[in-house]
């Protein structure tokens, strides 16, 4: 059994949070660490917003809006309405309850606490017992070079322009100076199992791997590292992953993903609809149902992945 194993999940936003939810139901919280993406963080109205961390946090706290996948359930929009009444353009979704998170985070950061400390405190206040680690406490921002608008900060590309511009390149502002936190490096080194969640490889997993210290820790790992493909039937379930990867001339097949992760993977989980891609793979592949619609789906996939990794280790 791997349920007593130390598990580290690399997760971005909505897709990643689904598997994180499943894993959180299968693991004891003290053995479960999520490494979260901060490269799509943004500053709006002087508030520090961490959309991916919040999506994971709200999911673990049972607050997530199940329909949207992001934000808080039963949300209202009065603050944003008033900002618009003041003539402000608000192109990012900010609910009234969500504002409380951004206000507290910003206040605590201004008081000199690190994003790691602030995130731990927010989770503690919400009664979440597993660990969510921002990959770095340093500024890191995804930038998308587009054909139509030049270089766009990630949320402008993603939310304002609804990922419709043609991407020429994706890069991470601050990635040379950034450092993975000691907690992140230690978690990766000590993990028995590392799971790359079915998040967008380029926009959610790549900015984690790009932070100096992460790839090195993965290379030195003693644990097993597997990825769950975000693609089903050769397509992304939602979001820009497929469109973006095609524009960047990246192959979204199993082989393509294994190559994209440059030798880091010990195994890959793909959907039944893509089972022919398992033929002749360089690494072991688990073919299963990867679409997570219900909470049961999330738990089932998490347990299946953990069992598969456990059977391969022993």
Alpha-carbon distance values, 51 to 151, 166, 225 (Å): 21, 23, 25
110 lies in the site for a copy of itself, by CB under 8 A: yes
> Is residue 78 a contact residue for a copy of itself (CB under 8 A)?
yes
Closer CB to a copy of itself, 122 or 143, in the complex = 122
Residue 42 binds a copy of itself (CB under 8 A): no
Residue among 8, 23, 72, 241 that touches a copy of itself (CB under 8 A)? 72
* Tokens, residue 278: 């398992």
Residue 85 in the binding site for a copy of itself (CB under 8 A): yes
- Interaction of residue 91 with a copy of itself, rule CB under 8 A: no
CB of 13 to a copy of itself, least distance (A): 20
User: With CB under 8 A as the contact rule, which of the stretches 78-86, 161-169, 187-195, 209-217 interacts with a copy of itself?
Assistant: 78-86
Structure tokens at 113: 């606490």
Q: Between 61 and 278, whose beta carbon lies closer to a copy of itself?
A: 61
Neighbours of 116 (CB within 10 A): 19
**In the complex with a copy of itself, which residue's Cβ is closer, 123 or 178?**
123
- Tell me the two tokens of residue 12: 């971005």
Least CB distance to a copy of itself at residue 125 (A): 5
| Rounded Cα gap, residues 2 and 212, in angstroms | 29
Q: How far apart are the C-alpha atoms of 112 and 34, rounded to whole Å?
A: 23
The Cα–Cα gap between 145 and 98 comes to 30
- Select the span of 96-104, 194-202, 211-219, 235-243 touching a copy of itself (CB under 8 A): 96-104
Contact between 88 and a copy of itself per CB under 8 A: yes
Q: Which one of 73-81, 170-178, 243-251, 276-284 is the stretch in contact with a copy of itself (CB under 8 A)?
A: 73-81
Query: Residue 86 interacts with a copy of itself (CB under 8 A)?
Result: yes
Which residue, 87 or 280, has its beta carbon nearer to a copy of itself? 87
Q: How many residues does the chain have?
A: 314
7 scored as a contact of a copy of itself (CB under 8 A): no
Residue from 106, 114, 255, 281 binding a copy of itself (CB under 8 A): 106
- Number of residues this chain uses to bind a copy of itself (CB under 8 A): 31
- Select the residue interacting with a copy of itself from 6, 69, 83, 297 (CB under 8 A): 83
Residues 115-154 that bind a copy of itself (CB under 8 A): 122, 125-126
Of the pair 78, 169, the CB lying nearest a copy of itself is at 78
CB count in 10 Å sphere of residue 173: 16
Interface contacts to a copy of itself, rule CB under 8 A = 45-47, 72, 75-76, 78-83, 85-88, 95-101, 103-104, 106-107, 110, 122, 125-126
């Amino acid at each position: 059994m791997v349920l007593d194993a130390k598990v580290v999940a690399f997760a971005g936003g909505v897709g990643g949070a689904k598997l994180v939810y499943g894993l959180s139901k299968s693991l004891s919280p003290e053995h479960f660490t999520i490494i979260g993406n901060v490269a799509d963080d943004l500053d709006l109205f002087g508030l520090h917003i961490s959309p991916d961390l919040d999506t994971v946090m709200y999911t673990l706290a049972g607050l997530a809006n199940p329909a949207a996948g992001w934000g808080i359930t039963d949300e209202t929009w009065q603050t944003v309405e008033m900002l618009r009444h003041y003539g402000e353009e608000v192109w990012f979704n900010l609910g009234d309850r969500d504002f409380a998170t951004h206000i507290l985070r910003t206040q605590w950061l201004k008081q000199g606490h690190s994003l790691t400390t602030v995130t731990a405190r927010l989770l503690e206040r919400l009664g979440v017992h597993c660990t969510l680690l921002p990959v770095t406490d340093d500024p890191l921002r995804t930038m998308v070079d587009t054909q139509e608008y030049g270089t766009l900060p990630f949320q402008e590309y993603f939310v304002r322009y609804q990922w419709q511009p043609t991407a020429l390149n994706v890069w991470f502002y601050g990635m040379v100076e950034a450092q993975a936190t000691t907690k992140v490096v230690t978690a990766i080194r000590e993990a028995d199992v590392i799971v790359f969640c079915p998040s967008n490889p380029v926009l959610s997993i790549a900015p984690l791997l790009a932070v100096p210290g992460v790839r090195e820790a993965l290379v030195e790992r003693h644990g097993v590292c597997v990825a769950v493909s975000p693609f089903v039937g050769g397509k992304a379930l939602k979001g820009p992953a497929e469109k973006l990867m095609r524009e960047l001339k990246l192959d979204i097949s199993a082989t393509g993903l294994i190559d994209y992760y440059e030798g880091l993977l010990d195994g890959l989980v793909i959907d039944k609809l893509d089972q022919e891609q398992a033929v002749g793979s360089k690494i072991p592949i688990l073919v299963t149902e990867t679409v997570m619609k219900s909470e049961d789906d999330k738990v089932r996939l998490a347990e299946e992945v953990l069992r598969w990794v456990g059977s391969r280790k022993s």
